[in-house]
Amino acid sequence: MINTLDLRRGRDTFSSQVVRKEVLPLSEMASQVSLRLLPSARCLFDEPIQVKVAGLRSRQVVTLKATATDERGEVFTSSATYRADRNGNIDVDRDPSLSGSYVGVEPMGLLWSMKANTLHKYFFKNKALNPHVVKFSVHEEEGRMLAEVTNERCLMGNGVSRVPVKDGSIRGVLFTPPGDGPFPAVLDLSTFISEKRACLLANKGFVVLALAVYNDKPNNVKEMHLDCFEEAVRFLQQQPKVGSKGVGVISRSKGGDIALSLAAFVPGIDAVVWINGSSANIGVPLYYKKSKILSPLLMDFSKVILLDTGAKIIKYAVNDPRIEENKDTVVPVEQANGQFLFVASEDDLNWDSKAYMDQMVERLRHHGKSNFETLFYPRAGHLLEPPYGPFCPSATHGLLSFQVQWGGEPSIHVAAELHLWNKIQEFLKTHLSCDTTIKPKL
């Protein structure tokens, strides 16, 4: 368990080819105020930066701001008030914010606290080719800008290849690290297509296929076929640079029960990361080899809770997979031979992921199995993502088309994201190890 974690951990190096641009003050300003991003103003999306201001008056109070625009054109902003030290310097790693979007020492607070002016907005940054561009600025109390700098937060590292895949029933994007390999293979399952997590994992040395659970409008999907996802697994295993015998699967939400089903029914799944998912097949029946293998777990919408903000809590509307009448919806995880990393957030308001995790653990133990690890994050919400993106407490639900509350206390949630991101990499590398003596496939 964790409560809060140091957001400064896990600093990686982007590339020796990156040109460092540390100081970018406004050229027209007569002042000597400078705003620096260390170690570089260009980095990977999941890398921390150190924000420093110099040249202020002793003990001067200023406001630091961050602004970014997402792929849908929505503008997100954050601000925090700081007091310079006696030498006129501010170090966000060291100094506390006095007020604003967050309070206290939060080294990456300007990034994760950004939000839109209207409620229930999720920051869409799902395409890998374009960086997440954030403008940082420092302002006097009267509002005049003293300095600014642009932070380019790249999703794809140098040498990583991105190839759209349209092969059979597969509609996804393949990311491959630079070099000859061999590399372990990972299937990244999102409810709807997103490249962010997949390409960030490719930066770490994995061949990753980003795949959506839904390629059509959810209302048009009356049943699902596990064969389509098995096809993606076989596609990954055939990639020239793949050296792991089995494939890993990383998933969250609806992708979680598909990942469990792959592990239970399809050979070759060696590791599954299940994040705030269900222990049962949600929504529509699941078929494999032309036979129905799991009935759908449904919802009782009379149990939805409407909040004053207009968002709804749907956690209590999902039928309980633990009761007898729903036993045919539960994934038989005891059939799986691979390893599981089960991750549940205490404040997940989408569904009761902690109860589902406990159900799977109990089921595995009942069958004499110990092929699992668990992580439980108190006060974190449903949307656990790679670190340093804007925290999202509520947004439109992609399957239900109304606003829902995801849950989570901001600073606690983002600390959990950082801890989990490092744990995911460790888990996948441990259970998808490659034989380096094997030559890459031709």
Active-site position among 348, 352, 353, 413: 348
Q: Residue for token digits 């939805």? A: 304
| Nearest of 252, 249, 243, 227 to residue 348 by alpha carbon | 252
Q: How many Cα atoms sit within 13 Å of 216 on the Cβ side?
A: 7
Q: Spell out where 265-359 has E strands.
A: 269-275, 286-288, 291-294, 305-306, 312-313, 339-345
Is 253 annotated in the active site? yes
Helix, strand or coil for residue 431? helix
Asked if residues 370 and 399 have their Cβ atoms less than 8 Å apart, the reply is no
| Nearest of 215, 220, 225 to residue 290 by alpha carbon | 225
Is 382 annotated in the active site? yes
Active-site position among 382, 413, 419, 431: 382
Whether the upstream peptide bond of residue 39 has omega within 30° of 0, thus cis, is yes
| DSSP structure string for 153-178 | EESS-TT-EEEEEEETTEEEEEEE-S
The span from the CA of 424 to the CA of 92, in Å, is 28
**Number of neighbouring beta carbons within 10 Å of residue 221:** 14
Active-site position among 78, 113, 253, 261: 253
Four-point Cα dihedral 36, 390, 388, 402, nearest 10: -160
Phi, psi of 329 (to 5 degrees): -95, -15
| DSSP structure string for 116-157 | -SSSS-------SSS-EEEEEEEEETT--EEEEEEEEEESS-
Tokens in use for 71?
């792929």
Residues serving a catalytic function are 253, 348, 382
